[in-house]
């Protein structure tokens, strides 16, 4: 299940790439970045959508998913991981 969620997220990210936005992203940051070129609004929606799928998993499993997203190193996947971690806060 966990890998399926990550595959679905990455697939949706790839389907929502905006080439013009992707190019602009590199101009915004001074340091080198890795990104798909997906707008924050869409990334936020994906984080919310897929959190509903994983919210019943244990914290360890969710942390593991977040770790995998962070290891990928793209801005969008990192944003989703941190969104999920924030949602776990009680």
- Reference 6, options 64, 87, 85; nearest CA is 64
Q: Which helix (H) or strand (E) holds 87?
A: helix 75-88
* Mean pLDDT in consecutive groups of 10 residues from the start of the chain, 90 residues: 85 91 77 86 96 92 94 93 90
Predicted local distance difference test score (pLDDT) of residue 1: 53
Range of the domain at 45: 2-88
Please tell me the predicted confidence (pLDDT) of residue 56. Answer: 92
Instruction: Say how many domains are in the chain.
Output: 1
Give the pLDDT of residue 30.
Answer: 77
């Amino acid at each position: 299940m966990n890998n399926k969620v990550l595959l679905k997220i990455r697939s949706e990210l790839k389907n929502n790439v905006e080439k013009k936005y992707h190019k602009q992203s590199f101009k915004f940051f001074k340091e080198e970045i890795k990104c798909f070129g997906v707008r924050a609004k869409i990334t936020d929606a994906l984080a919310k959508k897929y959190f509903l799928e994983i919210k019943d998993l244990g914290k360890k499993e969710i942390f593991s998913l977040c770790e995998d997203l962070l290891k990928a190193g793209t801005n969008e996947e990192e944003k989703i991981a941190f969104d999920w971690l924030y949602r776990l806060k009680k």
